[in-house]
Structure 1
């Protein structure tokens, strides 16, 4: 089973994905977006185990069955988080977020032809503004159990 987690580009998914992998008895793989385009046979070899991957490009381009989950934050929550993490004013954090989002959307669209606004590819979209990692993992675990039975 392959689980792909994606979110806004400013959310650092790697620590979360590692915790989720441990909770699921899975392996976390840090793959670049380009890896998928060059190593399509990798997933055929991995079908027996559980793998957790991250990224919107991976979720869009993955050609094998996978559970795709998008962790969604409101813009206000993103700005507040960026302000705290980067020690910026709320206005600076808002500007930084908008700049990063514009650059990332253009880059991903140019490289992979992916519209990052299209969330229809995801099996589950979770609003995470008021949830901690433990709660998010618990919800994902329950979703996986329901989806695989």
Structure 2
């Protein structure tokens, strides 16, 4: 597991925890750790072997134990459990400008929306407007956000490109 792998797992865990309405401090801890790990100047595996995980900003006992599990086993039970509870497509909804965790959770729990395509279809059919905090204007903003997201992907905005260190 390299730095990017662990940072991605922690970031996705933060998204899933936030969608589930978990404690904001816990969500923030995962986000901060993901950011710190992604910007480390050395391989996380080296820090793990040197027993230096606590020197990473935002990494305490709980997150150090999770990193240890990832390094030892290549997997993380807590991550697997979250993935089983929150469909992957639901976290993809967070990529749509204007859709945060609370709205993504409402769309998923009340309408069963699990993908950006399903969100677009529901917005076009006017099904979002009846939800709490969502009116016709928000529906239009969701459609506009999806269009922006798709334009960016079509133009190769770099969301799926290689990081600079790999070039």
TM-score, normalised on structure 1? 0.33
Structure with bigger helix share is 2
Give the structure, 1 or 2, with the largest relative contact order (CA under 8 Å, sep 6 or more). Answer: 1
Structure with bigger strand share is 1
TM-score, normalised on structure 2? 0.31
| Rg (Cα) greater in structure | 2
